[in-house]
Amino acid sequence: MKKKHLFLSLVLSIFLSINAFSQFSFNDIQLWAGSGTNKAALVIEWTTPDGNYVTKVWGYKWTGTKTGRDMLNAIKAIDPRIFEKAGSYGDQTVYGLGYDMDCDGFTYVAGANETGHAGDSDDVYKEGWLYQGYWSYWLSTNGTSWTYSNYGIANRTLTNGAWDGWRFAYAPSWTANPPRTPFTAATACGSLKSASTSSVASENSALSLPKAVEYDINISPNPCTEFINIYTDKPAQVTIIDLQGNEILKESYSTQSPSVNVANIEKGIYTLKIATDGKTVYKRIFKN
């Protein structure tokens, strides 16, 4: 009986996961590169140092004949948060991919045997080909069912409605898995270039954070789903601000280290403002 219940729970979990992915469509993509009548999506998944994952999606529009490499290059051109480290195998492969999580620029630190990493611990990055693993390449026609690509990114001819996905396969198992349900890459960071994006946040948006203060407050988890914990030994007033500068949540907490309920907040990038003991700290948060 226990085995039956376990099996049913597993089936339900898989069904819910697949169903959640099927609800994500091109209409949910906020950041588009290129122009034309054809559309494709690019999904990239990174694993964070604490074992969580960051899965982002961008859109690409084109006419004529384009490849997976054309799409990745075009998206990198309009979203400087993406960092690609070229390997020694040319345009066919993806050697290293990073993402600037807090919009303060991505710094790459080289390392021997594919141990290069992000200079900022808030950012995500992974590289590999021979030692640490490799970036596995996946293809889909609907964003739900993925198949492993058997050819390089530069030989991948895009079709209208296509999805390309990248997820790192770690050594020593080298097990490759497709990316999970994506979280749309929002138009953020005033430095985003205005190619064919539907909208770009202005320099005065909520994502143009004030300069750093003399002290800091730790938060977790980030990205968050239901709650975000704020570690402070003083009462605090917490405000969550969206991309347009609107205050969508404002609460005062009399207890130390409060947990803020964010379950009802839409997925996206926000500014977390923490006012405590006469000082204010700003944090970038990501709601999954």
pLDDT at 109 over 70: yes
Question: Is 259 within 8 Å of 228 (Cβ atoms)?
Answer: yes
Q: Give the pLDDT of residue 103.
A: 80
In this structure, is the dihedral angle defined by the CA atoms of residues 8, 14, 15 and 20, taken in order, positive or negative?
Answer: positive
What domains, with CATH codes, occur in the chain? 24-184 (no CATH), 218-287 (2.60.40.1930)
- How is the chain split among helix, strand and coil, in percent rounded to 5? 15, 35, 50
Higher-confidence residue of 93 and 40: namely: 40
Distances (CA, A) of 30 to 4, 19, 79, 184: 42, 21, 12, 6
In this prediction, residue 9 has a pLDDT band, given cuts at 50, 70 and 90, of very low
Using one digit for the tens of pLDDT, what is the confidence trace for 53-79? Answer: 888 999 999 999 999 999 999 999 988
Whole-model pTM over 0.85: no
Q: Give the pLDDT of residue 54.
A: 87
Q: Is 270 exposed, middle or buried (0-12, 13-18, 19+ CB in 10 A)?
A: buried
Q: Give the pLDDT of residue 12.
A: 40
In this prediction, residue 172 has a pLDDT band, given cuts at 50, 70 and 90, of confident
Q: Is 257 exposed, middle or buried (0-12, 13-18, 19+ CB in 10 A)?
A: middle
Hey, what amino acid is at 36?
G
| Neighbour tally for 184: CB within 10 Å | 19
In this prediction, residue 242 has a pLDDT band, given cuts at 50, 70 and 90, of confident
Which contacts (CB < 8 Å, 24+ apart) does range 202-209 have?
204/245, 205/243, 205/244, 205/245, 206/241, 206/242, 206/243, 206/244, 206/245, 206/246, 206/270, 206/271, 207/103, 207/243, 207/269, 207/271, 207/284, 209/103, 209/271, 209/282, 209/284
Higher-confidence residue of 203 and 57: namely: 57
Q: Say how many residues make up the chain.
A: 288
Scanning the chain, the segments in alpha helix (DSSP H) are 2-22, 68-78
Please state which of the ranges 92-96, 187-191, 195-199 shows the lowest mean pLDDT: 195-199
End-to-end C-alpha distance for the chain, whole angstroms? 35
Q: Give the pLDDT of residue 200.
A: 28
Task: Give the 3-state secondary structure of residue 222.
Answer: coil
Tell which phi-psi region holds residue 115, choosing left (phi > 0), alpha (psi between -120 and 50) or beta: alpha
pLDDT at 193 over 80: no
In this prediction, residue 287 has a pLDDT band, given cuts at 50, 70 and 90, of confident
